[in-house]
Structure 1
């Protein structure tokens, strides 16, 4: 049953370009399907989550991460009476703007783009769905509903000036009310992202042998999960034991968010989706106690996984790839693909506009394509066989 504070697809604020509605799908379902069929979504298959995508078949990529986020988001949306389709749509779209090599690639591109307005993957996701996907006859982008665009823009909270240039340009004519919180559906998608990566980064780190099961069993929340498994299944196989414990960890995070959200909803007592936006605080969040425990886990992951010595070496190498490709294309725009060269011709003499085109092109690259392009255009050692995480 739909809650009164849920977004209603039949009451959407519409699309920038009016379209005839589908007889079989709601507006939010159409948004979801357009994202799934987009070029940017397909490329997530070969983009880094934590490990470079060629590391192994079992590690998460941006695509499998996004699918896991969408699953968690739908579950929580259903439990709270929200629109599951809008929630899933924002979850699937939330990482569309990530460049190759994960956060390492984003840091490199942000530094290079600093003189030209900066780079932010959330803003880039909005730019992709409003401008860079060019498949439809009547509009650039995917022409998504206002509610989906709002969710992509501010699922992590209100966005205050100065705005990233990509966000400012993408929001023209949309009035996404960036100074308010997003819908409950978008807030759920944001928390589903936190739940998914906190869970699967532990799982992938174990598989990569960056830390041990015994070390995890000493961390907050996880200590209780391992104890529960040991009490119910004494002598359980090593791999099954850690899987059961992490499965319980996943469940603890979801249940905490749901319980905390229900308590907040009881206090705020919203009668519409707009009242969620104007509540002045996020409604969907972890409890304070669990959030403090997660800080300990994140600190552990940062030290043992994200900044392991071998990772530092790899970060330097892939940063060099981005730092080489960016000036190369600025100086040699004729080496861009044909469809991108037309954009270059349209901005002749505008250095900032050219930099933004180059940024758009590089940010859309997959890990493997960035490495192959660097080898082909610039040369140097072949980094395609590096086997360390980012």
Structure 2
């Protein structure tokens, strides 16, 4: 074995308790001729799952009707996985502490977690989350990250009762919000406000925002995930809502992709301007990045006045895809190189004792870029009008499926509906069905029920 390979193998040696983290809820003996480790098996199950394939038809920020250049949930997830592995490699190379080295995840594990992180998001992006949480307000609520856990542990078809039957550490890595819906919700979610104009139910961002949580239906799964942790660590996770070490790596990669790659989409599609960026993001937030660029590329990013700050922004908004991509790539590299491992000494378990984080200068710039996308793109009337339409489609579709499930649900979904007993469980079946839809299949289902000129008795449901 070469020196590099030996070092890599050493750094992916896991702690003695790690066999607990590679267990599955349904124990399965791996075939003798299967040379993969448990996390490589998890990665394979992601790639071959129907839920992952559906991400290609789900909104990231812009819908498929807006063109074919911008990110979807699938391409975003692929980018998050690539960036997360880059962060992992950077942490391996820069932090020589043996306990950190042994706690770092296997590359295929962090890829799997990253590919899975948006698996539970419904059609219509965050607007779809708001709608489904409202529809389920008296039946356990809804939250996209919680739905990811539900898909992996209950709904995917690799097993009859345990979904994809992922390893405990993979499930821990996607558990961004380790608190149940009923514990996270701050009082009852209010009913929608009827419009004084036409009586239609109107949802409010403030009143109907879903809490960050997992659903109560997966309490048993979370109890199983946390079994290897001490009682003190479990209590501390609950009280601080801490993310695991693996989850913090994925979360950084997600933030980085959101702040920078979605910016690339916005620039390419002409949704934002250099004037808006100069107005929204204070010049001092760029100082450390500009300094790094001056050190590495002394002849680049100088405008006619010689200031590199303006030069960087002019390159970013140059209109030349090659020039813009170069700045985007250097922003990603800059952010990635500013990640490091911090310690949380109150935790005993290596799964929580460490977390990936970012140096303050880079973090402040990243937060500025994220706010810029939020305020100039996501909250723009162009995007919000589509979100409003999708929210109404989901609420109306849910209401009618709940009203007459026998005649309106597809036969295989109605079979699941009949198989459960109480009304909340029955509505959960409808919720799972709508949450699984792509943007296109939601529109198709809605138009089939409500558009006079759409639909045929011979349509496949």
Structure 2 CA distance for aligned equivalents of residues 233 and 344 of structure 1: 60
Deviation of 1:216 after TM superposition, in Å, equals 3.9
Residue 27 of structure 2 aligns with which residue? 18
Structure 1 CA distance for aligned equivalents of residues 298 and 393 of structure 2: 46
Structure 2 CA distance for aligned equivalents of residues 35 and 377 of structure 1: 33
Question: What is the aligned-residue RMSD (CA, Å)?
Answer: 3.0
Structure 1 CA distance for aligned equivalents of residues 256 and 67 of structure 2: 23
Tell me whether 1:27 sits opposite 2:47 in the alignment: no
Deviation of 1:276 after TM superposition, in Å, equals 4.1
Residue 211 of structure 1 aligns with which residue? 272
Structure 2 CA distance for aligned equivalents of residues 151 and 222 of structure 1: 32
Gaps spanning 5+ residues in structure 2: where? 1-7, 93-103, 185-213, 304-314, 455-461
Task: Check whether the contact 1:74–1:88 (CA below 8 A) recurs between aligned residues.
Answer: yes
Task: Check whether the contact 1:99–1:121 (CA below 8 A) recurs between aligned residues.
Answer: yes
Deviation of 1:355 after TM superposition, in Å, equals 1.3
Larger radius of gyration: 2
Structure 2 CA distance for aligned equivalents of residues 222 and 129 of structure 1: 40
Tell me whether 1:351 sits opposite 2:362 in the alignment: no
Task: Check whether the contact 1:5–1:276 (CA below 8 A) recurs between aligned residues.
Answer: no
Q: Is the deviation greater in 368-377 or in 219-228?
A: 219-228
Query: Which secondary structure does the structure 2 equivalent of 1:284 belong to?
Result: strand
Deviation of 1:217 after TM superposition, in Å, equals 6.2
Structure 2 CA distance for aligned equivalents of residues 9 and 238 of structure 1: 53
- Distance change (3 Å), C-alpha of 1:77 and 1:27: same
Residue 166 of structure 2 aligns with which residue? 144
Deviation of 1:331 after TM superposition, in Å, equals 1.0
Structure 1 CA distance for aligned equivalents of residues 359 and 13 of structure 2: 21
Deviation of 1:209 after TM superposition, in Å, equals 0.9
Q: Is the deviation greater in 205-214 or in 88-97?
A: 205-214
Which stretches of structure 1, 4 residues or more, deviate above 6 A after TM superposition?
A: 7-10, 233-237
Structure 1 CA distance for aligned equivalents of residues 153 and 35 of structure 2: 24
Tell me whether 1:40 sits opposite 2:51 in the alignment: yes
TM-score, length-scaled by structure 2: 0.72
Deviation of 1:230 after TM superposition, in Å, equals 8.9
Match of 1:51 among 42, 59, 62: 62
Residue 129 of structure 1 aligns with which residue? 152
Residue 289 of structure 1 aligns with which residue? 361
Task: Check whether the contact 1:205–1:305 (CA below 8 A) recurs between aligned residues.
Answer: yes
Match of 2:323 among 234, 238, 241: 241
Aligned length: 368
Deviation of 1:169 after TM superposition, in Å, equals 5.1
Residue 197 of structure 1 aligns with which residue? 258
Structure 2 CA distance for aligned equivalents of residues 3 and 114 of structure 1: 46
Task: Check whether the contact 2:136–2:427 (CA below 8 A) recurs between aligned residues.
Answer: yes
Structure 1 CA distance for aligned equivalents of residues 248 and 16 of structure 2: 16
TM-score, length-scaled by structure 1: 0.84
Residue 436 of structure 2 aligns with which residue? 364
Residue 338 of structure 1 aligns with which residue? 411
Structure 2 CA distance for aligned equivalents of residues 17 and 89 of structure 1: 19
